[in-house]
Structure 1
């Protein structure tokens, strides 16, 4: 099982400790690029792939995504037929 497959399996198990860096890595595997909307964007991060965009809030201080963010990430990737 590749790193990408392991990361997908981990995401789909909806762990309580899924980290922002893991989400970023997974989105990069799917061809998304991280984009900050300038100096005033705060913790909001946009991931762009062609016409597809996904917005995430970079959690702090731990970096762990909230449960609703993990679900939102899964739902969006399924809508885009990437999962």
Structure 2
């Protein structure tokens, strides 16, 4: 009865050198996905920066206090008005 069931050893051809990889390496796929996301992020930031430079008005400078103006004039040797 043991002759009725023929046990065959599993084929190890798949584990040998004869097998060619089908598809892309999963590590490569992850690298491509993450790389493309980072690249899209950087390109998007650059595009927003260029758009903001063209459309937004320049920042207003802080007004210089009267004390600072007086100090600067005294440093330059110009007397402040009213003195």
TM over 0.5, shorter chain: no
More helix by share: 2
Length-normalised TM-score, structure 2:
0.21
Higher relative contact order (CA 8 A, sep 6+): 1
Larger Rg: 2
